[in-house]
Amino acid sequence: MAEVVLKDVVKNYGAMFAVNNVSFTVADGEFVALVGPSGCGKTTTLNLIAGLIPMSGGDIHIGDRLVNDLDPKDRDIAMVFQNYALYPNKTVFNNLAFPLQMRKLPRAEIDKKVQSAAKVLDITHLLERKPRELSGGQQQRVALGRALVRDPRAFLMDEPLSNLDAKLRVQMRSELKRFHQDLHATVVYVTHDQLEAVTMADKMAVMNGGFLQQYDTPANVFANPINTFVASFVGSPAMSLIPLEVASNGTQTVLQSSEGWELPLSPINARKALAASTKKVVLGARHSTLKLAKSAVPGSVPGKVYTVEPTGDITFAQVFISGAVVNISLEPSVAIRPDEMVFVEFDQERIHLFDGETTMALTL
């Protein structure tokens, strides 16, 4: 396997920049998820790595080779697509063997590679079957096997699980992760599902509008989202964001709502808020860091319950605070109902502050 390096990669269609100056390095053996909403440039980025479309600018290295001008077949990469594109009339064995037969490898070698890939993917017992005799998950493994026999330098996968039903998707998620761990494979994996990225990837590249927003481990992206876009994209339910204004009440720095209330900030948060480019500051908080109170307590602000959604172990409430919808997770035993007036308590050590003008996280 090999590392994959993108440097200032650009792809434009006229004035439309599908990929805009994207740079990141996938280390040898790393699993990287390209994630972001539909149309943000994930597939285009993957296709540029594969060489399926020409770049408008920048460099791509795979291993020690600059591949800008190499054909897809010469890049030694394996692609796994959403539809597995298995040959329906060939057995699983022949589906795996086909790319090797095309390369005119000796029969004994083909046999050895197919058996070894089948063993890794636990499909040895399926080798004589036809694709239609397999479950969706098994077909997925055959598609992976066909990529694997080619000994690629990297695997490129574009939403490979999106055709599967919810339960199988969760199961295949674990299998793909296992596949990656066992093979120490370099994987670039495209998904619009942030949960897939968070659960499987060593690093995630969050994209929006052709731009790379943040490239880091899922834990770091979750803990320190770089701007309000990333904050609201990663996590389920998303981080809640409340646009407010920073002000002083004479003794303390506070966040002020147009509804008339003030939230005093800790000294550290006050310094962050005062570093904003204007008075506009966005207060961010994840559902699990918020507490609900029936009456005003220090550090709490008033809100009105919008919806209450029990899910079993956790109940999610949506509360309107200063015009924004705020998600809060509660013990199922907490009794609240829509339209009730409540108080929401913020934890000063776990809130996030963003510049209301630039959307960037405010840090010290």
Residue 270 and residue 186: Cα distance in Å, rounded? 43
Q: Which member of 15, 16, 108, 166 binds ligand ADP (CB under 6 A)?
A: 16
Q: Which is nearer to ligand ADP, 42 or 75 (CB)?
A: 42
Residue 9 binds to ligand ADP (criterion: CB under 6 A): no
| Residue whose CB is nearest to Mg ion in the complex, by number | 43
Residue 41 binds to ligand ADP (criterion: CB under 6 A): yes
Residue 39 binds to ligand ADP (criterion: CB under 6 A): yes
Q: Which member of 20, 43, 140, 194 binds Mg ion (CB under 5 A)?
A: 43
Residue 55 binds to ligand ADP (criterion: CB under 6 A): no
Q: Which member of 8, 13, 83, 357 binds ligand ADP (CB under 6 A)?
A: 13
Contacted by 281, from Mg ion, ligand ADP, none: CB < 5 to 8 Å by type: none
Residue 223 and residue 216: Cα distance in Å, rounded? 11
Stretch that binds ligand ADP, among 11-19, 169-177, 213-221, 246-254 (CB under 6 A): 11-19
Residue 214 and residue 228: Cα distance in Å, rounded? 11
Q: Which member of 20, 44, 140, 289 binds ligand ADP (CB under 6 A)?
A: 44
Residue 45 binds to Mg ion (criterion: CB under 5 A): no
Q: Which is nearer to ligand ADP, 36 or 218 (CB)?
A: 36
Residue 235 binds to ligand ADP (criterion: CB under 6 A): no
Nearest to 99 by CA among 138, 123, 73, 69: 73
Stretch that binds Mg ion, among 4-12, 40-48, 221-229, 325-333 (CB under 5 A): 40-48
Least distance CB 221 / ligand ADP (angstroms): 17
Nearest to 159 by CA among 169, 146, 145, 148: 169
Contacted by 13, from ligand ADP, Mg ion, none: CB < 5 to 8 Å by type: ligand ADP
| 210, 40 contact by CB (below 8 A) | yes
Least distance CB 203 / ligand ADP (angstroms): 18
Least distance CB 195 / ligand ADP (angstroms): 17
Least distance CB 334 / ligand ADP (angstroms): 39
Q: Is 165 left (phi over 0), alpha (psi -120 to 50) or beta?
A: beta
Q: Which is nearer to ligand ADP, 42 or 146 (CB)?
A: 42
Least distance CB 18 / ligand ADP (angstroms): 3
Residue 32 and residue 45: Cα distance in Å, rounded? 13
* Residues near ligand ADP, by CB under 6 A: 13, 16, 18, 36, 38-44
Residues in contact with Mg ion by the rule CB under 5 A: 43
